[in-house]
Amino acid sequence: MRLLEDHKSGNVEVEFRVLSEQAMQQIAVINGSLRRESINAQLVAAIERLAPPAMKFERLAIGDLPLFNQDCDSAPPRLVLRTKEAIEAADAVLFASPEHNRSISAAMKNAIDWCTRPPGTSIWPGKAVAVVGASPSSTGTATAQQHLRGILASTGAAVLPRPEIHVAFRSDLIAANGEVGEDVLRTRLSNFAEAFSGWIERMRS
């Protein structure tokens, strides 16, 4: 860090603030589950608790987005525009995917599709993204995540390849506030957050 000599002007404090802001990582969160007691929301809360301090998470509400309609290309709904703006402003996107009939949720696919339209205005190319998911099943959304990774790759998003986080959820595994009750999972989520942070910096450079 470069320190300025003119302390009376306050330039030292200003420069420190600017550098600190540059180090922050704004993460938009898209949870494909609309349930009030979503276990994927608990998973996101756990990752947030274990993430480096520079990572700041903002949860996006996708449940009120209208169904995608290409007829709206000339005048997209206001809520769609606000969602796109929030994702564009973020450094990265974290997708928390449930598994619905061996695939991602309709709500998540709807949000992704809206953000690719109109032609030439997709916000996905080059955007750093990561995928996680929790389910009561033994495979923990692995199939849905495979589908989601393919969809995101087709949009040009930069998907974190490893580590994969698909959690076979139990009620004692993650509390509602995100506290993790198992050491192995706590380590996995901490390592994931560190890897995602590094991926974001790599995509910035």
In tens, the pLDDT along 101-133 reads 999 999 999 999 999 999 999 999 999 999 999
Q: What is the pLDDT of residue 29?
A: 98
Q: Is 100 among the domain residues?
A: yes
Residue 3 is assigned to a structural domain of this protein: no
C-beta of residue 147 within 8 angstroms of C-beta of residue 112: no
Q: Distance between CA 175 and CA 103 in Å, rounded?
A: 26
Q: Note whether residue 6 is domain-resident.
A: no
Looking at residue 142, its pLDDT comes to 96
Q: What is the mean pLDDT of the chain?
A: 90
pTM of the model: 0.88
Residue numbers of the domain that contains 31: 25-204
CATH code, domain with 143: 3.40.50.360
Residue 157 falls within a domain, yes or no?
Answer: yes
What is the domain count for the chain? 1
In a domain, 49, yes or no: yes
Residue 194 placed within a domain: yes
91 assigned to some structural domain: yes
What pLDDT does residue 11 have?
A: 45
Start-to-end C-alpha separation, the chain: 19
The C-alpha atoms of residue 145 and residue 160 are separated, in whole angstroms, by: 12
- What mean pLDDT is predicted for residues 44-66? 97
Q: Is residue 57 part of a domain?
A: yes
